[in-house]
């Protein structure tokens, strides 16, 4: 069947068909307006692990999602498809993760990474593998962008979208990044790993096309990161969680704060969403949960305000979903992914 035949025969009110693609939709990546790239990678995670299982867990949980959206009628008809989860990358991540754990153990024991031969070798190997991962993501993203697809990335840890942003920089001379996160991710080669999940925004700022980084919900950060923020006031705007909460406690509305955030963004925006930007009751198994954070609808309201302002979201990622013994984290991640996907497609005039 072609896409129109699939739309005609598909019942969006029925139980999700497990033989279909993500959200139970019957479309291939070629047929879909939105393509999601899974990246099961968590080599440099320094606390809790499990995010490499995020793409598969989100996929499995997605069949429980109701496709109806009260504000966007028949949005599912545009087509959303998850590309094949790369088993080779997942296996490589698992192997390298063991080396990272050994390295961090030595670091915690007070060993000097600059003089310890074993640590040097591990760090060099991890950095090389991370560069290869970045190249994979860049090539995969460029492939779908060339087909005029709306592209989203599903991690894995938060290091994974760097290649995506690099690919976008070849299509757009200037764009901003809206980061929803508990962490600033502005550390330089955290723990000796150049492409650490804690260094994603530090590395992103090396991309000349990224004119602005607007961070929202940050509540776990170090002095080094604050120095980076303070030294680049025209390029980095950070809305700390405590400041947002204080403003709301003193009477300001979330709408007013969101509209202020939106004004800080340029016309083209890349959305980077770390699930730990949410209250950890919604993502208790994420790698580095931090007390505080947002409700799901708060973040979606912000994204909607971006879209309603007329700005274009040129790409997005959702990272750090780590499934526990139940499906809770994946359930939240899948529902958030669906709603974000609709808003991004809406901003690109796909629906």
Residues 6+ apart with CB under 8 A from 188: 199, 202, 224
Residues 6+ apart with CB under 8 A from 55: 38, 39, 40, 82, 85, 154, 155, 156
Instruction: Indicate the Cα dihedral angle 282, 286, 290, 294, nearest 10°.
Output: -30
Q: What is the pTM of this model?
A: 0.96
For residues 142 and 66, what is the distance between their CA atoms, to the nearest angstrom? Answer: 31
Residue-by-residue pLDDT tens, the chain, 351 positions = 999 999 999 999 999 899 999 999 999 999 999 999 999 999 987 666 799 999 999 999 999 999 999 999 999 999 999 999 999 999 999 999 999 989 988 888 998 888 888 999 999 999 999 999 999 999 999 999 999 999 999 999 999 999 999 999 999 999 999 999 999 999 998 888 899 999 999 999 999 999 999 999 999 999 999 999 999 999 999 999 999 999 999 999 999 999 999 999 999 999 999 999 999 999 999 989 999 999 999 999 999 999 999 999 999 999 999 998 889 999 999 999 999 999 999 999 999
pLDDT digits (tens, 9 = 90+) for 151-173: 999 999 999 999 999 999 999 99
pLDDT at 338: 98
Q: Give the domains, in start order, of the chain with CATH numbers.
A: 3-347 (3.40.800.10)
Parallel, antiparallel or unpaired: strands 236-240 and 210-218: parallel
For residues 31 and 285, what is the distance between their CA atoms, to the nearest angstrom? Answer: 34
For residues 86 and 206, what is the distance between their CA atoms, to the nearest angstrom? Answer: 28
pLDDT digits (tens, 9 = 90+) for 211-227: 999 999 999 999 999 99
Judge contact between 200 and 159, C-beta under 8 A.
yes
């Amino acid at each position: 069947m072609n896409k129109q035949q699939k739309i005609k025969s598909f019942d969006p009110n029925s139980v999700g068909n497990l033989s279909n693609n993500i959200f139970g939709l019957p479309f291939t990546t070629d047929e879909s307006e939105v393509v999601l790239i899974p990246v099961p990678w968590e080599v440099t995670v320094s606390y809790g692990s499990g995010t490499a299982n995020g793409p598969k867990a989100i996929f499995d949980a997605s069949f429980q999602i109701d496709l109806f959206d009260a504000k966007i009628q028949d949005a599912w008809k545009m087509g959303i498809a998850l590309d094949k989860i790369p088993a080779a990358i997942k296996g490589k991540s698992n192997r390298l993760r063991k080396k990272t754990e050994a390295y961090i153990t030595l670091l915690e024991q007070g060993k000097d990474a600059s003089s310890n031969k074993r640590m040097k070798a591990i760090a060099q190997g991890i950095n090389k593998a991370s560069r290869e991962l970045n190249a994979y993501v860049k090539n995969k993203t460029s492939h779908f962008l060339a087909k005029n697809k709306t592209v989203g990335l599903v991690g894995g840890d938060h290091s994974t979208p760097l290649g995506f942003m690099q690919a976008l920089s070849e299509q757009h001379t200037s764009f901003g990044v809206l980061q929803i996160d508990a962490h600033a991710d502005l550390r330089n080669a955290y723990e000796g790993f150049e492409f650490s999940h804690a260094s994603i925004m530090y590395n992103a700022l090396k991309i000349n096309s990224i004119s602005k980084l607007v961070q929202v919900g940050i509540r776990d950060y170090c002095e080094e990161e604050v120095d980076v923020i303070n030294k680049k006031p025209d390029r980095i705007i950070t809305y700390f969680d405590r400041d947002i909460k204080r403003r709301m406690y003193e009477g300001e509305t979330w709408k007013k704060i969101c509209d202020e955030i939106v004004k800080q963004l340029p016309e083209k925006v890349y959305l980077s969403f770390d699930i730990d930007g949410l209250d950890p009751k919604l993502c208790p198994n994420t790698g580095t949960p931090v007390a505080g954070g947002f409700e799901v609808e708060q973040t979606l309201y912000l994204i909607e305000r971006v879209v309603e302002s007329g700005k274009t979201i040129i790409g997005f990622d959702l990272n750090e979903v780590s499934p526990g013994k139940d499906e809770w984290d994946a359930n939240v991640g899948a529902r958030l992914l669906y709603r974000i996907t609709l808003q991004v497609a809406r901003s690109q005039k796909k629906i």
